[in-house]
Each structure stands twice: as C-alpha cells, then as structure tokens.
Amino acid sequence: MIYLDNGATSFPKPERVLASVEKTIRMGSGTPGRGSHEKALAAGYAVEKARRETARFFGLFEDFRAIFTYSATDALNMAIKGFVRKGDKVLMSAVEHNSTSRQLFRMKRDKYIDLDIVRCDEKGFLDMEDLEKKTGTDTKLVVISHASNVTGALQDIELAGRIVREKGSFLLLDAAQTVARVPIDMGAMPIDMVAFAGHKGFFSLQGVGGLLIGERVRNLKPFREGGTGFDSASEIQPAPWPEAFEAGTCNVPGIVSLYEGIKFIKETGLENIAAEEKRKIKIIRDFLAGLDAVRIYGPGPDEPSVSLISFNIKGWEPEDVGAVLSENYEIAVRTGLQCAPLAHKCIGTFPAGTVRVSPGYFTTDEEINIFCKAVRVMAETLVPVY
Ligand SMILES: Cc1ncc(COP(=O)(O)O)c(C=O)c1O
C-alpha cells in the first residue's frame, strides 16, 4: 500500500513512537493521579513529562497551559464551548473544517451566538481586509485554520492575529494541518489558543491531541466534567489547571507516543521534515501541472502552503479516482469534501469535492512515481471505468 493520506493521519510512525507504545502497553499503565502505587505514579510522571515537552514546543512557559485532549476536534470543542458565552459575537474563516463550523453553526441556529464568516479567496487564503472589517471591538473570538485541509493554503497568522488583537478579540488557531511543520510560538505570536491533533504532524497514536491556552485567556469553562483524581470530595469540577479540563482517564499510551513524536521532530528538525515533505509535493505538483486533463486547486508553487494538493481529473468523479487508485494501484488518497464543505464552496468544488494527495516524511520517491503514473493513466482516459 502506498500511503498518500498524511493530511488525514500520518503513516508510518517513527520507530521510537512504536517502541514507546508497545512498552507502555506491555508493562501496563496505571491511571495518572489515581493511586500511589508504582504504575499510577509512573503514568503520572510520563504524562507530566509530555505536558512539559508539549508546552515548550509551543513556546509556553507554564506546563498547566497544555491540556491533553482526544483529538483536534475535542480541543476545538473545549476551546469554543469553554470560551464563548450566550450573546457573544464569533467569527470563523470561510475554509473551516466541520470540527469548528458545525459547533458554531449549531450555536448560531440556537440563537446562542452571533456568527459571521470571514471571506477567503478561491485558493483558500484569508481575506485580511474582510477580517479587519468584520472584527469589531465586540467580537469575542475568531477561529482560523492555520492551513486549509483542502487546499493547503497557509494563512499569515501573524497578521491575522495582530488584526484580532488590535480589536481586543481572541484568536483560536486550528493547527491540525500545520502542527510540527510550521513553527508556532505562542510566546511570541499573537495567538490565544491552539488546537492540534497528535496523530498528524506529531506522528503519535490516534486518540490524543491538545489545547494550548495562552496567557490572555481566563474564565475558560471546563468542557468535560468528571473524575480528576484529586479533590474528589468536591461536588463540582475543581478549578486548578490542567485537571479542570482533563476529566476522565487520559490516553496514556497516546500521550507517551506524543512525547516520543515531539522528540523525533526536535531531533530530526521541524524545518528538515517540512522541507522534505515540500520536496515531495513539488514533484507531484510539477507532474500534475503537466497533464492537460488535471486541474490543481489552491496556492501556486510559490505561495505559502503545507504539503498537500487538491486536484481533479477532467471527466472523473473524485470518488472514482480514489477508488481506482486504491483498488488497482493500492494507493491511499482522500477524496470528496474532506470534512470541509465550506472550503469547497470557496474554491468552487462543492459538492463533489476533490482528490487530495498528501505525502509524508517517510514517503519514497518511488511511491510518488507510481502515483504519478497512475494519475497519468486516468488523465489520458477521459471516460470513467468501473
Ligand atoms: C483543519 C482540520 N481541523 C480539524 C481536524 C480534526 O482533526 P481530528 O480528526 O484529529 O479531530 C482536521 C482533520 O482532518 C483538520 O484537517
């Protein structure tokens, strides 16, 4: 199988990530904060070590600002539902993933918030003038995907963050597609909260993610309530961070794998990993651009983007391209709307969507060649074959 769907989840994982998970499961993991026996203490230590590493990775000084979640979606729910109050004005970009837009559309439908959408262009880039115009001094929160999971367009988040801060508003960054590929320093950049998934850029197991909470954010309500392992007599969720947000037994093997993933990124170098992925996406882009029947969407070769490309082949439904790639070539790509219908409306590919190809750090040039040849066959065969 040739895996070119790293935008959904990364594969394969570095050896040290695999080894750490196997060791954690084989040795048996206790529940952090629950009990004073050896395994519970060891698990607690491993989680706190990972918390420190995660906080530092995002330029945060205090460990308690790094909250472990179960996914990017979970982190976005925690941030939005914890921060927004009835009657608040909220903005999101026009390329948001369903993990943001579904919550906000539902809140709007329930007349809980006043929601507006900041325009993006046909490549998925945020319209900064529209952001400036729509962000009012009464805007509570602005949610922006750092990079679109449909087009790869990488937003100028320094500029967006400055605009948001000038109006006294708060910026929540969905970093699902950029984490560990584009540096995010919350100590230096105007970002208030960052949501990420471990299983993409950090090469961790699925089922672990995080919410980073910057210094300006106060009054975040717990999104999940339940056991924290301390202050058990309290009728309500205890206030101290990070436990206030981490009710329930956490995903210890997942968090350990995140720690190892971060170590791998630091040792290999975020820039080296990003450059290697960019080199591969360039090979794919150059090849696709040479095929008359192929249309590429999103940023041009010299515009800021992450390593994924959305395209369509004339005469082919995206789903059919995906099926042929999978069934005849054992190549995995993502097709359709990629959980981001808004982005497809923006780039004009709604409702059929696109074929999205996302090579990873471990993808070989030979695998890319096989993919390119397969696409050429379809691009030169304009009638779909079932
Ligand atoms: C931009 C973006 N946001 C959020 C998510 C949700 O991530 P998860 O499935 O880990 O919750 C994704 C996943 O594809 C994404 O690409």
pLDDT exceeds 90 at position 386? no
Q: What is the pLDDT of residues 81-112, one digit of tens each?
A: 999 999 999 999 999 999 999 999 999 999 99
78 lines ligand 1 (CB under 6 A): no
Give the C-alpha separation, 181 to 175, whole Å: 10
The mean pLDDT of 359-378, rounded to a whole number, is: 98
Q: What is the pLDDT, as a whole number, of residue 295?
A: 98
Q: Which of 77, 99, 251 to mutate to test the pocket of ligand 1 (most atoms within 8 A of CB)?
A: 99
Q: What is the pLDDT of residues 255-278, one digit of tens each?
A: 999 999 999 999 999 999 999 999
71 lines ligand 1 (CB under 6 A): yes
Nearest atom (ligand 1) to Cα of 145: 1
Contact 13, 366 (CB under 8 A): no
pLDDT exceeds 80 at position 339? yes
Q: Which of 9, 149, 184, 206 to mutate to test the pocket of ligand 1 (most atoms within 8 A of CB)?
A: 149
The mean pLDDT of 336-363, rounded to a whole number, is: 98
For residue 12, say if its preceding peptide bond is cis, omega within 30 degrees of 0.
yes
Ligand 1: centre distance to CA 287 (Å): 28
Ligand 1: centre distance to CA 175 (Å): 9
Residue type at 85? Answer: R
Nearest CA to ligand 1 atom 7: 72
Q: What is the pLDDT, as a whole number, of residue 383?
A: 58
Q: What is the pLDDT, as a whole number, of residue 35?
A: 84
Tell me the two tokens of residue 117: 């959408």
Nearest atom (ligand 1) to Cα of 74: 11
Q: What is the pLDDT of residues 237-256, one digit of tens each?
A: 999 999 999 999 999 999 99
Rounded mean pLDDT of the chain? Answer: 97
Ligand 1: centre distance to CA 340 (Å): 10
What 3 state SS string does 165-219 have? HHCCCEEEEECCCCCCCCCCCCCCCCCCEEEEECCCCCCCCCCCEEEEECCCCCC
What structural domains does the chain harbor?
2-10+269-379 (3.90.1150.10), 15-268 (3.40.640.10)
197 lines ligand 1 (CB under 6 A): yes
149 lines ligand 1 (CB under 6 A): yes
349 lines ligand 1 (CB under 6 A): no
pLDDT exceeds 60 at position 118? yes
Nearest atom (ligand 1) to Cα of 8: 14
Nearest atom (ligand 1) to Cα of 72: 11
Ligand 1: centre distance to CA 176 (Å): 5
Q: What is the pLDDT of residues 207-223, one digit of tens each?
A: 999 999 999 999 999 99
Q: What is the pLDDT of residues 191-212, one digit of tens each?
A: 999 999 999 999 999 999 999 9
Block residue for tokens 């975020």: 270
Q: How many CA atoms lie within 13 A of 228 on its CB side?
A: 21
Question: Any bridge partners for residue 147, and if so which?
Answer: 154
Percent of the chain clearing pLDDT 90 (strictly above):
96
Q: What is the pLDDT, as a whole number, of residue 90?
A: 98
Nearest to 76 by CA among 166, 226, 179, 197: 197
The mean pLDDT of 161-184, rounded to a whole number, is: 98
72 lines ligand 1 (CB under 6 A): yes
Ligand 1: centre distance to CA 156 (Å): 19
Instruction: Using DSSP bridges, classify how beta strands 89-93 and 139-145 pair: parallel, antiparallel or unpaired.
Output: parallel
